[in-house]
Structure 1
Amino acid sequence: MREIQIVPSVLPADFANLGRDITALHEAGIDRIQWDVMDGQYVPNITVGADVIKACRDYTDVPFEAHMMVYNAERFIDDLADAGCQMVIYHPDTLKHPHRVFQATRDAGMQAAIALSPTTSNDVVDYVGDLIDMVLVMTVNPGFGGQAYLHTMEPKIAQMRARLDRLGLTEMDLEVDGGIGPDTIAGAARAGANVFISGSALWKYPSFAQGVEDLRAKAEAAR
């Protein structure tokens, strides 16, 4: 059975004290950290780039993943590798030539993954399954933290898990991102996800450690 993983998004962090928050997340027992990279064009918001990610690399040895909500994300592959990212997640509709981008990401020593917005078809995985290492099903529309979880995405998660199994990708991680917290993680886990991005909800716990423990327990119990 695929391992349950709890992965914080740093969007709710204190950006004036990112190193402190990254250290605290590390000590809480997280599995990796997600960096939401937004360009103000594909999505309305603007966040961080490779330079900020690189500045935080020394604060933890947990893997970094960059969720690229930008156009022409292939421009940043080398910079993300230099920043210490282990995985880059792309929205296929932002790429002119997805196969080239996924291969270039792997050639740079990183894993490649795809993110599917709520209205993006699951069909895309049929054509890129051999070049990706993970699928992310968005449970909100990309662009902002703190949005409400879309329960209507649970059938899509289940359909993606079945599709991956049918394609022989039974060990591929299935990640969900958006509104994941103590009241929603069980539904996503039952649908077949095993990697859970938590942002705002994790910051509401008395401590990161309590949040990670609670979310992990709820996901494992739901399976």
Structure 2
Amino acid sequence: MKVAPSILSADFGNLQRDIEEICNSGCDLVHVDVMDGHFVPNLTIGPVVISAIAKAATKPLDIHLMVENNSFFVDLFAPLKPEYISFHIEEEKHPHRLIQKIRSYGIKPAIVLNPNSRPEELEYLLEFLDMVLLMSVNPGFGGQSFIDTVIPKAKKLDAMRNEINQNCLIEVDGGVSDKNIHLLKDAGVDVVVAGSYVFKHENRQTAIESLQI
């Protein structure tokens, strides 16, 4: 299991320190939540701060767009060369076009499904994706409780990708901890995003390692 700590739960007064610590503690990706205050009721960070994050991080960035006007934000963040850029299917009218745009930048495209969205919506897009991110909380804020209906959803998506695109990873974001990591692993999940569990743990390396099962 790969682990992508979400910097949404980091100490923004000591952001460089926190990013360096999770990278030195063995995380696989650094998850960056971009929120515009429109698609979700929260506003986070822009390219200036993410550029600083990219300089501090020794692990690849995993940028999660929770925004309107996805194409604009892809153009904004592509120069930072993250490993992944993910966008919400609920907000995008032309997902295939946006997937192509992300890949044209040399970045791996990913699509996000909210808790109420169905994996079947991706049937004709899955072959073009490098990753699908399943939200196990409602997007917008950290520290929420895990929505366990993501488990059967992950199993369904795992069956779909085995038929359509075995190289597509499954990522889960929200309420992840050592209490549910084995359920996620058994459901076919490859990557977990963990914010509060990692950054509020007394030993962040121990927290990360407990998820890398």
Q: TM-score range by the shorter chain?
A: over 0.9
Contact 1:77–1:108, Cα closer than 8 Å, also in 2: no
Query: Which digits, 9 at most, give the CA deviation of each residue in 1:109-141, with x for residues without a partner?
Result: 111000101111111221112321101111111
Unaligned runs of 5+ in 2: none
Contact 1:66–1:89, Cα closer than 8 Å, also in 2: yes
- Which residue, out of 9, 13, 30, partners 1:12? 9
1:153-164 alignment, distance < 5 Å:
153-164=150-161
Aligned to 2:21: 24
How much has 1:184 moved relative to structure 2?
1.5
- Which residue, out of 69, 73, 76, partners 2:70? 73
Contact 2:109–2:130, Cα closer than 8 Å, also in 1: yes
CA distance 1:170–1:131, shift in 2 (3 Å):
closer
Contact 1:54–1:84, Cα closer than 8 Å, also in 2: no
How much has 1:89 moved relative to structure 2?
0.4
Contact 1:51–1:83, Cα closer than 8 Å, also in 2: no
Q: Following the alignment from structure 2 to structure 1, what is the Cα–Cα distance between the partners of residues 127 and 148?
A: 29
- Normalised by the length of structure 2, the TM-score is 0.96
How much has 1:83 moved relative to structure 2?
2.2
Contact 1:54–1:82, Cα closer than 8 Å, also in 2: no
* More moved, 205-214 vs 18-27: 205-214
Residue type of the partner of 2:149?
T
Q: Following the alignment from structure 1 to structure 2, what is the Cα–Cα distance between the partners of residues 166 and 214?
A: 31
Q: Following the alignment from structure 2 to structure 1, what is the Cα–Cα distance between the partners of residues 150 and 100?
A: 29
Aligned to 1:134: 131
- Which residue, out of 44, 48, 56, partners 1:47? 44
Q: What secondary structure, in the 3-state scheme, does the structure 2 residue paired with 1:11 have?
A: helix
Aligned to 2:188: 192
Q: Following the alignment from structure 2 to structure 1, what is the Cα–Cα distance between the partners of residues 82 and 67?
A: 17
Q: What secondary structure, in the 3-state scheme, does the structure 1 residue paired with 2:7 have?
A: coil
Provide the identity percentage: 37
Q: Following the alignment from structure 1 to structure 2, what is the Cα–Cα distance between the partners of residues 194 and 140?
A: 18
Stretches of 4+ moved more than 2 A in 1? none
Q: Following the alignment from structure 1 to structure 2, what is the Cα–Cα distance between the partners of residues 142 and 28?
A: 26
1:115 aligned onto 2:112? yes
Aligned to 2:90: 93
How much has 1:40 moved relative to structure 2?
0.9
Q: What secondary structure, in the 3-state scheme, does the structure 2 residue paired with 1:137 have?
A: strand
How much has 1:78 moved relative to structure 2?
2.5
- Normalised by the length of structure 1, the TM-score is 0.92
Residue type of the partner of 1:106?
R
Report the number of matched residues: 213
